[in-house]
Structure 1
């Protein structure tokens, strides 16, 4: 078994030297071997001596073929192993830095131990620290898993080469034998653990060299693009491949359906029924194609990352960020609600998030806090008018919000795990509107790295208890928003952020016109105005997202911060 101490001591530089030496010898062997291969047969030489020489020559060539094929395979595998070790040792370095950040140390045998004799400093929140400890445990487990794989793979290549098992020994030239050796698989890499958490996904990805990551993005874009915990830049690359592939596939399906419909006789009642059924399918395909058009057009604005794309559901799901999620110190994730679709709403919501990011950047310029990225997350099947009688999808029930909340919690945790894996500071804010606030609340019923949450136009907060630090829940209700219930008790979508006893946990935000250092800000009204540009409501979101709630405008008394 490979130990963490072993991996720390591995010297990839030595392997690079071996790789260079072997790779330099292979062309020499190839050239000399092919010259030797041309010595026989000699024209005009026959008889027993010629036959004996030919047999000996053939035996030498077969041995030389397998030797050169093995040398080529070794050169390739040793070079791959050196790159793989560098990636694993970089993952160890990142894990060491994460451990120091949260007051832990990683022992020689891979245990995670607390460095404090007493209680940790108060700024290290217990829940954040527990999450970091789990991330470290996942990191170490994956580092050892990958290291063991590197060690066994390289040993297998060396053993196979020693046994002369590379190449066939019957290649037409030594050059062909060397090419066969290079075609050998060489190093492989372990899969992530089954049913991996976002933290485990992040740990797995961190141990892979760039060449392996690139190959996975190229060969398995659907899998990589959907994996919470991977860097946004890699998910974006993979999902753009998926976007192009799905677009072509949906257009092909649409053309096939249209061709079938064009061949039907509308005078035949049976074919009329078939035409109707095909038309329903065609309309659904056109909606999906329209959704992918919306995704494409949004990405074309620039400075966007496609963090999620799924065309397999009745309606396309997608998540697009404005800004660089990996490098942003502040990330806001906005979840919309009832009637939301990608083709109908992504463009406008992306514009809203762009407006919010610009305001956040202005706050950062004046007060600090770091760069911001803002995500529009339409990663669930938001209820539609046509589904109001469907108990599993109705806006009048919690089921769609609960299902969406499960996915949203993983998305939050994926962003957190990605930042932890790269030791990039993160202030994560959840924004939820209308039924999307209920979805957000159900997500926040799970353990996530969300530090602030703002629910606006909310029919109910979702889960009974939101796992957000005390004093970091915010709510906004516009004048004239008649879709916000005014009852005081818990409804089917959870307690009201405004009127129930649970409302005392929320800062009630102003949406009136105001004048701040950002200049005059407009009031917002009704159920759909909260994201209006240059509004008090939008300014409040930007202030909270950047970690400056003191700059926001409130309706009532600001609650003191306290323990979770």
Structure 2
């Protein structure tokens, strides 16, 4: 822990010298780029030995790029640290001056020492001067010292983290094709590590903070964003994606360490009364952590499909939350956000299944946009940013699918996610909110909040949208649509505000055999599921076709239930 004595002894000039040394090392390493590239296997050399040498050369190149990233990151992080140290030392000098003026002293331990009434104080003013010293000056000095120590500790911790990561070889050269790229990546990463996050705020404030940053800072953060940017609604999707993808390995390491600790606790013999209960508790915690590890594998599998953006990654709570976009959410003219319902989970594979649905929906919506709409680009998002009710939680009143509590909790984050998409952009995309089953209830609660920027809503197999009155749903008039397949008993329940298919103000679209305006023959969907031959989101079904035209912003091409 940094104390005042440490701060007084800090010499920023020495750090300046280190920065100059690191710059020289960086330039020397980067100059090896051509030599490294030309030192590979000659074309004429073939065989196992040649393959082995080529592999070793590849490893050498990767390690060289990592070394350049480490040197560049440390140097880049040290530059603002020097400025901060000097600023904090100047602040301490002011505090010391104020203390001396009133006959106090700031000790190396940070304590404010009272040296008595100032010697030159007139006798008739001693009482008033001391009262002022005790009531106003001393508390002010204590507060100032605390602020100085906090700034010093923050600067020390930021640079120490960078140095520690470099020492532990935790800085990969992801995306760097050569040593110059690695140097640029390191420069950006170092700057990003020293930028303080803004105060907690809503998506609009987050967006304003981002837009207020200098262009150089935004470029650095976009290239190597700190982890906290990944969870901020209102930040560009591309930046959130990079931050969240970069976090996966760190999250996995943290969870693996926790799993090892819990496994040791499970394996420890616990004879005597209550031992089985304690062991059972550790086993449940271990199962939860292992499920989160599985969820990270599932997320990576989805990302490997390509053209994906990881917009949410949160391993806190009982289960992992995630959201994956297809296409470019930053630039697409039409963005649909789909929220799944009961028994959906990342670790259980739901994210992957719904991502496939959203991929096909995006393709079909793009075709509709190109042929019959404005030709704008389409993006879709599978949002599992809440802990959807699970079948084994039915008897838990706070998590049960029979309760509105999980939907209301999820709705707050979903509403901010909608807002974040709009606030992060300079234009206004056609934003469509979609929800299936209990996810439609979560969507309904989210749309009861003001200012989400949602332009249309579509519910599928909905047990209700959390209100009996459509006027509570904040979407433009005549832009609320519903799909209910035959034999969908969940949709018929209407538990959360009534069955949407019977509500005035909600356009009930067809799920039956039909012919699309372009002559395409469409099949009936049935039951409550989204997949399989009769699912709501199965390509070729009327329900999926209707979802695609809503996503493309051409609702006039939808097939209505009334013909």
TM bucket, shorter chain: 0.5 to 0.7
Task: Structure 1 unaligned segments of length 5 or more: list them.
Answer: 1-25, 31-71, 78-183, 558-564
Aligned to 2:403: 397
Tell me how far 1:399 sits from its aligned partner.
1.4
Select which of 233, 236, 254 maps to 2:238: 233
Deviation track 1:323-376 (CA, whole Å, cap 9, x = no partner) reads: 110110000000111111112211100000001001011112212331111000
Q: Provide the residue aligned with 1:378 in structure 2.
A: 384
Tell me if 1:549 matches 2:555.
yes
Matches within 5 A, 1:36-75: none
Q: Provide the secondary structure at the position in 1 that maps to 2:335.
A: strand
Matched with 2:438 is 435
Deviations 1:254-311 (A, max 9, x none): 123223434437x766554443222211111111111111111101111000001110
Partner of 1:289: 293
Change (3 A) 1:189 1:314: closer
SS of match in other structure, 2:258 = helix
Map 1:206-225 → 2, pairs under 5 A: 206-213=211-218, 216=221, 221-225=226-230
1:365 corresponds to 2:370:
yes
Is structure 2 residue 355 aligned with structure 1 residue 354?
Answer: no
SS where residue 498 of structure 1 aligns? helix
Match of 2:449 among 418, 442, 446: 446
Distance 1:282 1:509, change over 3 A: same
Aligned to 2:302: 298
Residues 247 and 539 of structure 1, relative CA distance in 2, 3 Å threshold:
same
Given the alignment, which residue of 278, 283, 292 partners 2:282? 278
Residue 476 of structure 2: aligned partner? 469
Residue aligning to 2:155:
none
Q: TM-score, normalised by structure 1?
A: 0.61
Cross-structure match for 1:520: 521
Separation of aligned partners in 1, 2:498 and 2:259: 45
Q: Take 1:189 and 1:256, find their aligned partners in 2: how far apart are those partners?
A: 33
Cα distance change of structure 1 residues 504 and 338 upon mapping to structure 2, 3 Å threshold: same
What does residue 3 of structure 1 align with?
none
Structure 2 gaps of 5+ residues are 1-19, 25-77, 84-189, 530-534
CA distance in 2, matches of 1:290, 1:189: 32
Which residue in the other structure is 1:485 paired with?
Answer: 492
CA distance in 1, matches of 2:322, 2:478: 31
| Aligned-partner Cα distance in 2 for 1:73–1:349 | 46
Match of 2:505 in 1: 505
Q: Structure 2 CA distance, aligned partners of 1:73 and 1:270?
A: 56
CA–CA distance in 2 between the matches of 1:260 and 1:378?
32
Give the secondary structure class of the aligned counterpart of 2:362.
helix
- How far did residue 232 of structure 1 move? 0.3
Report if aligned partners of 1:225, 1:309 keep a CA contact under 8 Å in 2.
Answer: yes
CA distance in 2, matches of 1:277, 1:399: 25
CA distance in 2, matches of 1:292, 1:428: 28
Structure 2 counterpart SS, 1:377: strand
Is contact 1:218-1:238 (8 Å) kept? Answer: no
User: CA 1:518–1:242 in structure 2 vs 1: closer, same or farther (change >3 Å)?
Assistant: farther
SS where residue 319 of structure 1 aligns?
A: strand
After superposition, what is the alpha-carbon deviation per residue over 1:466-497, rounded to whole angstroms, capped at 9, x for unaligned?
Answer: 0111100101110010112356xxx4x22321
How much does 1:429 deviate?
Answer: 0.3
Match of 1:332 among 332, 336, 349: 336
Q: How far is the alpha carbon of 1:195 from its aligned partner?
A: 3.5
Once the two structures are TM-superposed, the CA of residue 202 in structure 1 deviates from its matched residue by: 1.1
Q: Which residue of 2 aligns with 1:197?
A: 202
The SS at the match of 2:490 is coil
Q: Are the structure 2 counterparts of residues 424 and 297 from structure 1 closer, same or farther at C-alpha, using a change threshold of 3 Å?
A: same
Residue 242 (structure 1) aligns with? 247
Calculate the TM-score normalised by the size of structure 2: 0.61
2:544 corresponds, among 533, 538, 542, to 538
Q: CA–CA distance in 2 between the matches of 1:518 and 1:315?
A: 45
Return structure 1 stretches of 4+ with deviation > 6 angstroms.
Answer: 217-220
* Superposition map of 1:29-178 within 5 A: none
CA contact (8 A) 1:438 1:494 kept: no
* Distance of 2:216 and 2:277 partners within structure 1: 53
* Contact in 1 for aligned 2:373/2:554 (Cα 8 Å): no
Q: Distance in 2 between matches of 1:521 and 1:189?
A: 54
Query: Does the 8 Å CA contact 1:437/1:462 hold for their aligned counterparts?
Result: no
Verify the 8 A CA contact 1:217 1:224 in the aligned structure 2.
no
Deviation at 1:407, TM superposition (A): 0.8
Aligned-pair distance for 1:396? 1.3
Deviations 1:120-174 (A, max 9, x none): xxxxxxxxxxxxxxxxxxxxxxxxxxxxxxxxxxxxxxxxxxxxxxxxxxxxxxx
Separation of aligned partners in 1, 2:274 and 2:339: 44
- Checking the alignment, whether the CA contact within 8 Å between 1:291 and 1:342 is kept in structure 2 is yes
SS in 2 for 1:504: coil
Q: Which position in structure 1 is the counterpart of 2:137?
A: none
